[in-house]
Amino acid sequence: MVMQIDNPVVPLTVDLNHGFERNAHIDIYGEAFIASNDGFRIEFGSHDGLPMIIDFRMGTRDGQKFIALSHMKNGLSSNQSRYINPIMPGQRFAIRIANDRRHFSIFVNNAFICQFDHFDRSSHIRRVSVFGDVRLYQMMFQRFRHVGQGTRVNVTPGSSMQPIAINQPPPPYSVAIGQQSVPSTYPVAAPVQTQPVLMQSPMVVTTCDSKRDRRRKCVRRMMFRHALFGALH
């Protein structure tokens, strides 16, 4: 599956909950510029270190322009491997980082740069981050499991660049401000207005018979019995 991020803000971190899967690759399109960092960096992080660090140096300070690859585990950094950096400030570039069976393959502008061995299992990689003097126009994650579960974008607060736009399936319900919502996937039943129902409690009538009333009732019953007995005899 493919996940595409358009105009992401730098610094940027993308979480890879399922790791950097085998035969998957990441395409990064952007443009480097000259600023205080003298380049930019791509880091792949795990729970105990950085399995791969790709440092693009522009050479504006000391004239040394190169790509440095290294890794870090448990706070200890490895030696750098340096390669020619074909990226020019002010010009657009295309970077591809592919995960092969036992190593990563790195390409810049469709040209092969190097291979970088796996110093940790690629399935242990949990995030990829981009820092430094670079504008990103697009990032594409090919053959990654995502759809809101495997890949998540974290934006550093306070950035003033363009917001992230992620191409994902539409939500079950679309929400529009200032107009009626229109369902995008599932039909939405209109709300039904019901009249309030007033529940009436049963009325209980209590009677209190006085002694006089009870006596009258007893006399009437006795008179009725005598009359009935006389009629029978």
CATH number of 137's domain: 2.60.120.200
- Is 100 within the bounds of a domain? yes
- Is 52 within the bounds of a domain? yes
Domain of 161? 2-166
Decide: helix, strand or coil at residue 213: helix
Please state the pTM of the whole predicted model: 0.63
What distance in Å separates the CA atoms of residue 96 and residue 109, rounded to the nearest whole number?
Answer: 8
- Is 191 within the bounds of a domain? no
The pLDDT assigned to 153 comes to 57
Looking at the 3D structure of the chain, how many domains does it have?
1
Query: By the 8 A CB rule, do 141 and 12 touch?
Result: no
- Is 233 within the bounds of a domain? no
| Gyration radius of the chain's alpha carbons | 39
- Is 91 within the bounds of a domain? yes
Query: By the 8 A CB rule, do 23 and 99 touch?
Result: yes
- Is 138 within the bounds of a domain? yes
What distance in Å separates the CA atoms of residue 29 and residue 218, rounded to the nearest whole number?
Answer: 107
- Is 188 within the bounds of a domain? no
- Is 45 within the bounds of a domain? yes
Closest CA to 130 of 1, 34, 27, 48: 27
* C-beta neighbour count of 173 within 10 angstroms: 13
For the chain, strand residue ranges (E) read 2-6, 12-16, 25-32, 39-45, 49-57, 66-73, 76-77, 81-84, 92-99, 103-108, 111-117, 127-132, 134-142, 151-155, 165-166
The pLDDT assigned to 196 comes to 52
pLDDT in tens, the chain (233 residues): 788 899 999 999 999 888 998 899 999 999 999 999 999 999 999 988 999 999 999 998 888 999 999 999 887 788 889 999 999 999 999 999 999 988 999 999 999 999 998 888 888 999 999 999 999 999 999 998 763 444 455 544 433 333 333 344 334 333 333 334 344 444 444 444 555 545 454 444 444 456 677 777 777 777 777 776 666 65
